Amino acid sequence: MSFLKLFKSENVANNSESIWYENWQLLKKNKSAMFGLYIIIFFVLIAIFAPVVAPFDPYAQNIDIRKLPFFSWPYILGTDDFGRDILSRIIYGARISLVIGFISVSISLIFGSFIGLISGFYGGWIDKISMRIIDIMLAFPYILLTIVIVALLGPTLLNAMIAIGIARLPQYARIMRASVLAEKAAEYVEAEKSLGVGNVELMFRSILPNCLAPIIVQATLGVGSAIIESAALSFLGLGAQPPTPEWGLMIASAREFVSSAWWIVTFPGIAILFVVLGFNLLGDGIRDVLDPRLKD
């Protein structure tokens, strides 16, 4: 049956906790997932309150203080080759990276799930056509596909998000389709049909909520990879454009100083590392909770 933990019928408790609540209780016990969640919350707070927490204007250049090493008070993480405060740029960069992560994942989540839901539910030629298109998309090396899409749309940050969203969409479609196929065979679907429930309602109201678990795992892990990918695109000059304080772009534009002023490239890299780590830990934890088969 579904990924959800449904098999605790001996637990006839009087409390009417939903499965989601129960899963949250389990997740809370998972230390690494919680650590991941704290990292994410930390970055989200920083992003929201960037103007408050950032000590300097991330765009303000000052040729007198170029490439100050880190711990040069008050420039805690030092300054870059234009004399901009690296800490402030990283803090503002969190906004960009998280927005990129959420938007591109939302694109693949919404469209991918929709395609997977429709093709899994209706089957037949709809399924055949959409799955062949998905196969073709998956046949491209992933980063190449992204680059092609950005090249077609033009190199801006928004287009990078769209490209990442589209390029990752096949995975969501596949996952959703597989869960829908499994759920479609479940007896409750038959039972609801026998009560006169129509196709659209069956698909969106009955089956979809039962297919969310694997998609949520995928989406959580996906935010992390989308952040890395947008950094890669910016690094290649296909994403954010200077002087945007995007982490990938910060690394790219200072790469010639890797040996002389290592902190300019290192700290944005560490920021990427932590955010992605946060999403990966959380995603893995959610998977452990939702899919008992993966537990030892």
Partner 1 sequence: MENNKFLDIKGLNVSFYTQKGVVRAVRDLDLWINKGETLALVGESGCGKSVTASSIIRLIPSPPGKIESGEIFLDGQDILKLSEEEMQKIRGDKISMIFQDPMTSLNPVFKIGDQIAEIFITHYGLKKKEALERAVEMLDMVKIPSPEKRVKSYPHQLSGGMRQRVMIAMALASPHPGIMIADEPTTALDVTIQAQILDLMKELQEKIQMSLLLITHDMGVVAEMASRVAVMYAGRKVESADVYSIFEKPFHPYTVGLLNSMPSNEKYKHNARLEAIEGNVPNLLEIGDGCPFENRCKYAKDICRNKFPEIKDMGNNHHVWCHFAGELNF
- Please state, in angstroms and rounded to a whole number, the distance separating the CA atoms of residues 283 and 245: 27
Residue 268 CB contacts under 8 Å (≥ 6 apart), including other chains: 86, 89, 90, 93, 247, 248, 250, 251
The type of residue at 192 is: E
Return the bridge partners of 85, or none: 79
Q: Are 245 and 96 in contact (CB under 8 A)?
A: yes
User: Which residue reads 């296909």 in tokens?
Assistant: 238
What Rg, from alpha-carbon coordinates, does the chain have? 23
Residues 16-45: x where in contact with partner 1 by CB under 8 A, - otherwise, as a string: xxxx--------------------------
The backbone torsions φ and ψ at residue 2, rounded to the nearest 5 degrees and listed phi first, read -80, 175
Of 20 and 59, CB closest to partner 1: 20
The piece of 3-11, 38-46, 47-55, 249-257 that touches partner 1 (CB under 8 A) is 3-11
Query: C-alpha 10: how far from its chain's center?
Result: 37
Instruction: Rule CB under 8 A: say whether 231 interacts with partner 1.
Output: no
Stretch in the footprint of partner 1 (CB under 8 A) among 28-36, 173-181, 185-193, 279-287:
185-193
Contact call for residue 1 and partner 1 (CB under 8 A): yes
Which of 210, 225, 230, 280 forms a contact with partner 1 (CB under 8 A)? 210
Choice from 14, 63, 200, 296 touching partner 1 (CB under 8 A)? 14
Q: Quick check: 60 binds partner 1 (CB under 8 A)?
A: no
Give contact residues for partner 1 (rule: CB under 8 A): 1-2, 4-9, 11-14, 16-19, 186-188, 190-198, 206, 209-210
